[in-house]
A and B are shown apart, each in its own frame.
Chain A
Amino acid sequence: DVKVTQSSRYLVKRTGEKVFLECVQDMDHENMFWYRQDPGLGLRLIYFSYDVKMKEKGDIPEGYSVSREKKERFSLILESASTNQTSMYLCASSFGSRAPRDEQFFGPGTRLTVL
């Protein structure tokens, strides 16, 4: 079974702090994605990566950055956390590079609260 793990289930940070959310997948997938999930808005894509050291902006990249130094790990960084970044963050991975038909496998999510 594909396993996507995220470093924390719950996280509480203060405004202005730098926040790192880590995601690891164990199935040698090419693609990795970061979403945020908010009630009534569904999932919105923040950043994604089709390969190591490669990243592309999603639909809402402002205030976020990412790092992919190894194929299995994709990190989301909030340079200076703000209260409007309080949300559920979901990481996902899929097999084929840029393949639109591949199922995405999701992690359990990190619920981030910024005070």
Chain B
Amino acid sequence: AQSVSQHNHHVILSEAASLELGCNYSYGGTVNLFWYVQYPGQHLQLLLKYFSGDPLVKGIKGFEAEFIKSKFSFNLRKPSVQWSDTAEYFCAAASSNTGKLIFGQGTTLQVKP
């Protein structure tokens, strides 16, 4: 069955620390990958997405993610987090056959000022 797994459920960092959130997917064919973010009290919104081409994709607010096909991974990174990055982050994947997204369990990031 298709699935998306996020390894870190709750991450606490100090400002300026580097961030890496893990995401692994299990899909048989071509896959489209996304990271969404939900800031406190706000709608879920897209951070970045990968379809093809350069496996290193850049998103909003200084976030980037790397697609490693051999590891079925799409980890999210940011070199230096800010207090305003406190949010819940969701990795998601969609197969090429449908528009359905499958989400991971989510990672809550708390950045201490």
Binding site for B on A (CB under 8 A): 4, 31, 33, 35, 40-45, 48, 50, 58-59, 90, 92, 94, 96-104, 106-109
Contact = CB atoms under 8 A, between A and B. Distances in A.
A100 B95 contact: yes
Interface residues of B, number: 26
Contacts, number: 62
Contact of A108 (B4, B43, B92, B102): B43
B101 A45 contact: yes
Interface of B: 4, 6, 9, 32, 34, 43-46, 49, 51, 90, 92, 94-106
Nearest to A41: B105
A94 B104 CA distance: 19
A90 B38 CA distance: 12
A42 B105 contact: yes
A80 to B, nearest CB: 27
